[in-house]
Amino acid sequence: MRSTDPARILRLPGTLNHKHDPPAAVQCVRLELAVFEARDIVGALPDPPAPAGRTASIAERELPSDDPLKSIASGDYVPFLTGRDAERGYVRCPFHSGGNERTPSLHVHENQGGWYCFGCAEGGSIIDFAAHLYRISPRGRGYHDLRRRLARDLLGRSA
């Protein structure tokens, strides 16, 4: 019971303890194996809460509010980029079923930048949409490539 701090408990046998000079070899002095069933450990704990709804993507949170790309409503950029007309706020999704849906499943928020496809269970910002459409990762260099391409395609300028 004298060794209860995690730094001492988690030292693996065969490694070195560098708190000594010279470093001392870590040895397993005593090992007691005990087997527990998961139900014995969690007992009557309630189930964890259901996960919250989708959180904003990194791109949505980091874009400044005066960003010209963020100011474009998905009701404008989704039909423009896909070449598909919106029908009562929905567009035939280009990401599944080869885009040949019987009824449109991609909802565009007319006055906001977000979109959500009920068929794919995917949604997000203009960056997320472009990442799917252009098949470019929205991380690292891909993020900057997406912004440049969107600026060219939607705003007619280089970014």
**CATH of residue 108:** 3.90.580.10
Query: What total number of domains does the chain contain?
Result: 1
Distance CA 85, CA 78 (A): 9
Sign of CA dihedral 67, 72, 78, 79: negative
Q: What is the pLDDT of residue 38?
A: 80
Distance CA 70, CA 116 (A): 16
The structure's pTM equals: 0.55
**Inside any domain, residue 86:** yes
Strand 24-25 and strand 106-108: the pairing is unpaired
**Inside any domain, residue 30:** no
b/e map of 68-90 (b: 16 or more CB within 10 Å)?
A: ebbebbbbbbbeebbebebeeeb
Q: What is the pLDDT of residue 56?
A: 47
Low-confidence ranges of the chain (pLDDT < 70): 1-9, 52-65, 97-100, 111-112, 157-159
> Domain range holding 85?
67-155
Which residues on adjacent β-strands are paired with residue 58? none
**Inside any domain, residue 10:** no
Nearest to 84 by CA among 138, 129, 151: 129
Asked if the peptide bond before residue 138 counts as cis, ω within 30 degrees of 0, the response is: no
Q: What is the pLDDT of residue 54?
A: 55
Supply the DSSP string of 75-99, one letter for each residue. Answer: HHHHHHHHT---BTTEE--SSSGGG
**Inside any domain, residue 55:** no
Distance CA 149, CA 130 (A): 9
**Inside any domain, residue 53:** no
Q: What is the pLDDT of residue 22?
A: 93
pLDDT digits (tens, 9 = 90+) for 37-79: 887 888 878 877 777 665 544 334 444 457 788 778 888 888 8
Q: What is the pLDDT of residue 59?
A: 39
